[in-house]
Structure 1
Amino acid sequence: MAVEGSAGDLLKVVTLLGAAVVAVPLFKRIGLGSVLGYLAAGLAIGPFGMGLISDPATILHTAELGVVMYLFVIGLEMQPSHLWSLRKAIFGLGSMQVVVCGLLLTGVGLAFGFPLGVSFVSAMGFVLTSTAVVMQLLGERGDMAQPRGQKIVAILLFEDLLIVPLLAVVAFMAPADVGATVAASSSRWGTIGLALGSLVALVAAGVWLLNPLFRILANAKAREVMTAAALLVVLGAALLMQVGGLSMAMGAFLAGVLLSESTFRHQLEADIEPFRGLLLGLFFLSVGMSLDLAAVASNWPIILAGVVAMMIVKALCIYIVARLAKSSHADALDRAVLMAQGGEFAFVLFAAALGAKVIDPVVNANMTAIVVLSMALTPLVVLVHKRLTPADSAVSLDGIEKVDGQQNASVLVIGFGRFGQIASQGVIARGASITIIDNNVQMIRDAELYGFKVYYGDGCRADVLHAAGAHTAQAILVCLDNKEAATRIAELAREEFPQAELLVRAFDREHVLELRKADVSYLVRETFESAMAMGRQALLTMGAAEEEADEVMEHLRRRDAERMDMEAAGGLFAGRQLVLGNLKKKPPEHEEVQAPA
């Protein structure tokens, strides 16, 4: 029986993975996006489709961890100082949008003939935008770091914070007898105390425990343990917030913020990313499976009318609020189209309202269907908006830092030993945006003493390089003293990040030939230039004039380049014979006598 149960569980996993592998590439190929692909795949295999999966609620509960991990990654990008700079957008713009949308959507419920309490709960559930859908769409089009994307993220954070007081309001709305009032009041104070205690515990752990923990694990050089620790931080923070009665997603976001200035930030992001992507995809699959086609068919007039009315009213509210906040027409319209849907926290709010008998099962089923349909329709609406928007009136790119008419150059330095420290000085002095990664924990701590911010990371991993910004870097400097690692990174960077100029430190002549195969933009042997400088000084010491010394050294450079070209063409032995032959005879004036290095 145990084997049969295991086979059944494995069949579910294979079904979910197979549906995603088939649907997502197909939908992306025809231009409908990955989110709609996941939703359609979930609908096809769910209990209201082919019936291959019968318990979408269980899968949805697990898949919510994808949203949790996504918010942790977003938190890693939000340094406290940056988050503080967004306070007006979070609390000002966010509260304005929630209040206006909440009032008008409650009016929609009253217009449909529902009581005030039911209308309010339904409206506030729809006000809570889908973090998963919006984040995925923002990420796919590369808007996460743009000013318009940052404002949307700030509003989503405020809405995530709102779930806690909304659940408290639902508890107050619940019908209760007079005798239970005192006990309920005491219970509410206990709940508030537990929530505050969870927040304090999480902040304390983030400030005093997490960095020392990751430093110890990094010194152990156990990659799988670092991955386990990253998962422990995310899931532990989510669990702590859940125990405190708060949002798991907000707990993960707060943990990310606390680690945003850590030297391990890029490594953590790279370790979490695969799990985040898989679980977020599973979340969309389970949302698609949750769409009750029977309920939609039996109540289709009110569900269809509810979807259209709520999406239009919410989009109109968002547009008006954005324009009042002095956003451009294009930005306001884009935000309205992107956020005009209900979200995953609506399911939590509706479940709590159903348990408290504020709404009945029919309203719960109808509103759940309305929210799911709005989430499913959003990618289509965004696609239609994109097709109908003229190219010259597309969303503006205001806020990108520019220097001399170009984007501010960004540089990724891999390895910050003696060579890397010197090689990076020029771009630092020019004011370029620079990111430095290394996997030597002690060197990272020493660099901090001199004011350098060096992040922990394994440069041989594509996901770490991507998290460190290699995909947007103008130049990548590989300054490692390990020739095998430098070659692997050069090959990886040329394949994964072709837009970047690749500058690599070479160990010797054989290493130069290896790196040439990786098509690096510039390479230099680590001792060549210093040896040439000493050779020039030796000539000056022996009485040569400045011009003569420069001429000799330039001649040596040309001969070295000729030998290198010969060796690269397959004449390695002949090239070395040429050098050794020169060593055995008195060279003519300015003749090359350098042994191979």
Structure 2
Amino acid sequence: MHGEAISPMMSDALVILGAAGLVIPLFARFRITPIIGFILVGLLVGPFGLGRLVYQFEWLSYFTITDPVRLEPFAEFGIILLLFSIGLELSFNRLWELRRLVFGLGALELLIIGSLLAAFLSMLGQYWTGALGLGLALAFSSTALVLPMSGTTNPVGRAALSMLLFEDIMIVPIIFLLGALAPYAQSDGMTGLFDTLWQGALVVIAMMVVGRFALPRLFALAARAKSPELFLAASMLVVIGASLATALVGLSPIVGALIAGLLIAETEYHTEVEGIMEPFKGLALGVFLITVGMGIDLTTIWANLWTITAAVVGVLTLKALVTGVLLRMMGARRSTATETGILMASPSETTLIVLAAATQALLIQPGTAQFWQIVTAIGLTITPLLAKLGKHMARRVEPAPDMTQAMAQDGRPRVIIVGLGRVGRLVAQMLDKHDQPYIGIDSDSDLIESARRDGYNAIFGNAARGDILDKLGMADCPAVILTMDEHILAQSLVRRLRTAHPDLPIIARARDSYHAAELYRSGASTAVPETLESSLQLSEAVLVDLGVPMGPVIASIHEKRDEFRERIQLEGALEHKPKLRTSTAET
């Protein structure tokens, strides 16, 4: 009786929430992307995993998902929220700047890869219509996995975004094309395509016109109410309404979600919307990845191991080579072309949709579709590994510049800045303004590439390695500035540098006064708490606006800063953490 009272939907929710609660922290502990974890959970709890044993052990039904179809709407919603969040990070101006890449690089990448795969499959005996459907399906790359790994602001992210945007635009025309190629297709197949295109264009234009006027007012009302729930409801209303509008005229709902994100990105409320939607996007994307894992049948893979392995390797290699060559032809650096090509080699969640459309149109047999679905699921699973391989190969084909040359441009000792994010760049700008030579180091290759392009003296390297900073000339270095937002790494570096160089000035960024006290205990010459500096700047601004003369204000700010610094140094020397936390709260 009690077992019957629990609905399958509740059981599925228990499995999904349990997976999210276990997978994310466990894989984060070992610095492994949760993407692999969610796919492995799907493999374990799906119909090809423990789900096989439900009929023998009924209690397993509470910990497995035997019907993946129930999760498909939630998985689709995860993709919709992902495209919505991507739109929030973009703007219409940025899209216009990417137009050459979207309709040039994106079109060439999809058409060339699709044609080559279709030709190869046709040579293996697949009829040409089925080969074309398979080729186009396998040419897609995963928007859901690639963009969170690549970002959208660095060269790799911009190239990947351009190609993925074109692929998303082409989903509907390709599905219509497969329907027109079906053996039973009627003459109105292309007419349906044209109807969808002009109706979709009208809907998109209407959304853009109405959204520019309505969305700022909608979110302004939500902001005045000061209710996070109302802000969430307004965000959900916009993304679901936009997705339904494009779906009703035959376009993909992800097109509507992307446009909704772009429209909100033009308003002043996009940061708040992005923060509110982030948890829902992550959970919904996790559901999608679990459904991918459910489609992997290990017994089928084992029975066709060599064939499936050859298919996976062949498809990934072809896509990586074509994408990399196209990027090089369009002027991309070798490192960017290499990393983007390998990352974009992964198949896509859209591949599964196009395969289903080709099967429904009788262009390919169900057994053939199942084989390529397994290939796609394996490719999605190893996408995080492709991302790591791409970064490694990018550094191999275009290594970082020689450190000695970077240090010896004018023979003067240089300040070393560890971390070239927003804080490190600002420090570098101030040093440069006052003619103080510096060199920046960071372990993020994309960030270093962007910094060098913007004119900063920067090199790639992991400062946690003991020999890297020594190669930069620590013996003659006038000062080291630590700007990273990783308190454990900062403390470790301060401790090691102070031991090796007792007289070296070490200036470190701290999160708060408690962290600053820890850095002082580790040996920092100066620790600058972000919370303290923001408070002092706010105080300075309000005093000046109230008419207090600038001179006394600046003097009082310096006095208060010295007072806080002495207090933090004293607390650090006392090494009494419970008392420190109390005094920090009082501060």
AA aligned to 2:154 is Q
In the superposition, relative to structure 1, how do residues 562 and 244 fare at CA in structure 2: closer, same or farther (>3 Å)?
closer
Q: 1:166 aligns with which of 174, 182, 186?
A: 174
Listed as ranges, the matches of 1:77-92 within 5 Å are: 77-92=89-104
**1:467 equivalent in structure 2:** none
In the superposition, relative to structure 1, how do residues 314 and 208 fare at CA in structure 2: closer, same or farther (>3 Å)?
same
**2:119 equivalent in structure 1:** 107
**1:245 equivalent in structure 2:** 250
Tell whether 2:338 aligns with 1:333. Answer: yes
Provide the C-alpha distance between the structure 1 equivalents of 2:141 and 2:19, rounded to a whole number of angstroms: 26
Output the TM-score relative to the length of structure 1: 0.66
Consecutive unaligned residues in structure 1, runs of 5 or more? 397-403, 412-426, 431-470, 473-492, 500-515, 537-549, 570-597
Q: Is the 8 A contact 1:291 1:373 kept in 2?
A: yes
Q: Is the 8 A contact 1:57 1:290 kept in 2?
A: no
In the superposition, relative to structure 1, how do residues 385 and 4 fare at CA in structure 2: closer, same or farther (>3 Å)?
same
Output the TM-score relative to the length of structure 2: 0.67
Partner SS state of residue 382, structure 2: helix
**2:20 equivalent in structure 1:** 20
AA aligned to 1:34 is P
In the superposition, relative to structure 1, how do residues 6 and 393 fare at CA in structure 2: closer, same or farther (>3 Å)?
same
Q: 2:369 aligns with which of 335, 351, 364?
A: 364
Tell whether 2:280 aligns with 1:272. Answer: no
In the superposition, relative to structure 1, how do residues 187 and 157 fare at CA in structure 2: closer, same or farther (>3 Å)?
closer
In the superposition, relative to structure 1, how do residues 350 and 531 fare at CA in structure 2: closer, same or farther (>3 Å)?
closer
**2:353 equivalent in structure 1:** 348
> Identity over aligned residues, as a percent?
29
**1:259 equivalent in structure 2:** 264
Aligned residue-pair number: 448
Partner SS state of residue 209, structure 1: helix
The range that moved more, 27-36 or 235-244, is 27-36
Q: State the Cα deviation string for residues 492-513 of structure 1 (Å, max 9, x = none).
A: x9469999xxxxxxxxxxxxxx
Listed as ranges, the matches of 1:32-181 within 5 Å are: 32-51=32-51, 52-138=64-150, 143-176=151-184, 180-181=186-187
Partner SS state of residue 265, structure 2: coil
Tell whether 2:219 aligns with 1:207. Answer: no
The range that moved more, 195-204 or 122-131, is 195-204
Q: Is the 8 A contact 1:108 1:309 kept in 2?
A: no
**1:236 equivalent in structure 2:** 241
In the superposition, relative to structure 1, how do residues 334 and 222 fare at CA in structure 2: closer, same or farther (>3 Å)?
same
Q: Is the 8 A contact 1:19 1:42 kept in 2?
A: no
Partner SS state of residue 81, structure 1: helix
Q: State the Cα deviation string for residues 450-476 of structure 1 (Å, max 9, x = none).
A: xxxxxxxxxxxxxxxxxxxxx99xxxx
Q: Displacement of 1:23 after TM fit?
A: 3.2
Provide the C-alpha distance between the structure 2 equivalents of 1:302 and 1:49, rounded to a whole number of angstroms: 22
In the superposition, relative to structure 1, how do residues 5 and 59 fare at CA in structure 2: closer, same or farther (>3 Å)?
farther
**1:314 equivalent in structure 2:** 319
Provide the C-alpha distance between the structure 2 equivalents of 1:306 and 1:555, rounded to a whole number of angstroms: 68
Q: Is the 8 A contact 1:60 1:287 kept in 2?
A: no
Listed as ranges, the matches of 1:283-302 within 5 Å are: 283-302=288-307
AA aligned to 2:244 is L
CA RMSD of aligned residues (A): 4.0
Q: Displacement of 1:375 after TM fit?
A: 1.0
Q: Which has the larger radius of gyration?
A: 1
Provide the C-alpha distance between the structure 1 equivalents of 2:530 and 2:372, rounded to a whole number of angstroms: 60
**1:381 equivalent in structure 2:** 386
Q: 1:323 aligns with which of 322, 328, 334?
A: 328
**2:10 equivalent in structure 1:** 10
Q: Displacement of 1:389 after TM fit?
A: 5.9
Q: Displacement of 1:24 after TM fit?
A: 3.8
In the superposition, relative to structure 1, how do residues 93 and 116 fare at CA in structure 2: closer, same or farther (>3 Å)?
same
**2:222 equivalent in structure 1:** 217
**2:453 equivalent in structure 1:** none
Partner SS state of residue 259, structure 1: helix
Q: Displacement of 1:528 after TM fit?
A: 5.6
Q: Displacement of 1:70 after TM fit?
A: 1.6
Q: Displacement of 1:368 after TM fit?
A: 1.0
Q: Displacement of 1:18 after TM fit?
A: 2.0
Provide the C-alpha distance between the structure 2 equivalents of 1:378 and 1:563, rounded to a whole number of angstroms: 51
The range that moved more, 377-386 or 282-291, is 377-386
Q: Displacement of 1:339 after TM fit?
A: 0.8
Q: Displacement of 1:364 after TM fit?
A: 1.3
Q: Displacement of 1:274 after TM fit?
A: 1.2
**2:427 equivalent in structure 1:** none
The range that moved more, 524-533 or 21-30, is 524-533
Q: Displacement of 1:37 after TM fit?
A: 1.6
The range that moved more, 107-116 or 123-132, is 107-116
Q: Displacement of 1:561 after TM fit?
A: 5.9
Listed as ranges, the matches of 1:184-583 within 5 Å are: 184=189, 187-386=192-391, 390=395, 393=398, 494=511, 519-520=532-533, 523=536, 524=539, 533=548
Provide the C-alpha distance between the structure 2 equivalents of 1:330 and 1:290, rounded to a whole number of angstroms: 34
Q: Is the 8 A contact 1:105 1:314 kept in 2?
A: no
In the superposition, relative to structure 1, how do residues 554 and 113 fare at CA in structure 2: closer, same or farther (>3 Å)?
closer
Q: Displacement of 1:328 after TM fit?
A: 1.7
**1:489 equivalent in structure 2:** none
Provide the C-alpha distance between the structure 2 equivalents of 1:340 and 1:369, rounded to a whole number of angstroms: 16
Provide the C-alpha distance between the structure 2 equivalents of 1:172 and 1:126, rounded to a whole number of angstroms: 19
Provide the C-alpha distance between the structure 2 equivalents of 1:128 and 1:242, rounded to a whole number of angstroms: 20
In the superposition, relative to structure 1, how do residues 532 and 563 fare at CA in structure 2: closer, same or farther (>3 Å)?
farther
Provide the C-alpha distance between the structure 1 equivalents of 2:136 and 2:158, rounded to a whole number of angstroms: 23
**2:475 equivalent in structure 1:** none
Provide the C-alpha distance between the structure 1 equivalents of 2:514 and 2:78, rounded to a whole number of angstroms: 27
AA aligned to 1:149 is G
Q: State the Cα deviation string for residues 158-185 of structure 1 (Å, max 9, x = none).
A: 11111111011111101127xx43x556
Q: State the Cα deviation string for residues 166-205 of structure 1 (Å, max 9, x = none).
A: 011111101127xx43x55654554344333432332233
